[in-house]
A and B are shown apart, each in its own frame.
Chain A
Amino acid sequence: MRDWLELELSEHLAPVKAPDDLWRRVNTARPAAAAALPLRLRALPIAAVVTLILAGALWFMARGEGRQATYRQFPASARAESCLLCHTTM
């Protein structure tokens, strides 16, 4: 490594004095509760909502497929007769 870089880094990254206000802030800091919850725990409600939405969507899709299946099971001959009940030519 170049000497100039070593000198610049040592000069510009030198330690500094902490502000006097820090002790007051440490003393008044609220005990880590909700803010300190790990990210995983905070993600749980979001994961639960996403799972519910996905489950709902799957349920609707499954319901739709069931109806289609009922329709397909209708015999072709019967279907033609049933259609003629409504769709008649004048």
Chain B
Amino acid sequence: MVLEGSDRELVAACQRGEREAFRALFEAYKDKVFSIALRFSGDPATAMDIAQDTFVKLFSRIGDFRGESGFETWIYRMVANSCFDHRRRSWRLLPLIDEVAGRLRESRDCLADLMRSQMGERVHSAVERLSPDLRMVVVLRYTEGLAYEEIAEVLGCSTGTVASRLNRAHKALERRLAHLVKQNGGRHA
């Protein structure tokens, strides 16, 4: 991830306070930011809050960007931190409550599954039940298609940590979703 020429000019214009540049930067990155927020939170309203926070922070701190890392990496780092901050602020005191809520949602969805994409719902539900660290790695990998090295740079950890987190996430997701693949007649098996 290197700073593209157009991005460099946009960032410089934002640092000079040009309003059109902010809008152009927003247009360039809004889908990426919102997608990460949505896939991480699983809720469109929460994703809007996270995306809003991210852009407000980004615009207020753009003067701090020195170009030492890629601009895209900088934005990814900012949205990842906003996701973690939002989760901390939402006061989920007991992880057990999340677990129970996830299971209730699953059972409630049983009838509706006949009418809509069962697998899609289950994938989202299974991803939502991963711990924030594992979930963020999965989102950056599958929503943004980042390589292990890029994820490590965004999250400020080693490539080995990324690989280990992905491996744990895959195992958990496989456990939670394998029975659906069998039910669906092994669409991908």
Contact = CB atoms under 8 A, between A and B. Distances in A.
- Residue among B127, B170, B188 with the highest chain A CB neighbour number at 10 A: B188
A14 interface: yes
Interface in A1-60: 1-5, 7-19, 21-23, 25-26, 29, 31-32, 39
A39 B89 CA distance: 9
A1 B55 CA distance: 35
Contacts of B124: 12
Contacts of B44: 19
Contacts of A31: 56, 60
B189 A32 contact: no
B38 interface: yes
Interface of A: 1-5, 7-19, 21-23, 25-26, 29, 31-32, 39
B52 A29 contact: yes
10 contacts: A1-B174, A9-B141, A12-B123, A13-B127, A13-B138, A14-B143, A17-B34, A18-B35, A29-B52, A32-B56
Nearest to B174: A5
Contacts of B167: 1
B101 to A, nearest CB: 20
Given A1-B167, A9-B123, A17-B34, 16 more contacts: A5-B170, A5-B177, A8-B119, A12-B120, A13-B123, A13-B142, A14-B143, A15-B144, A16-B34, A16-B38, A18-B33, A19-B34, A19-B48, A25-B52, A32-B57, A39-B88
Interface of B: 23, 26, 30-35, 38-39, 44, 48, 51-52, 55-57, 59-60, 88, 119-120, 123-124, 127, 138-139, 141-144, 167, 170, 173-174, 177, 181, 186-189
B52 A26 contact: yes
B142 A10 contact: yes
B56 A2 contact: no
Contacts of B51: 18, 22
Contacts of A19: 34, 44, 48
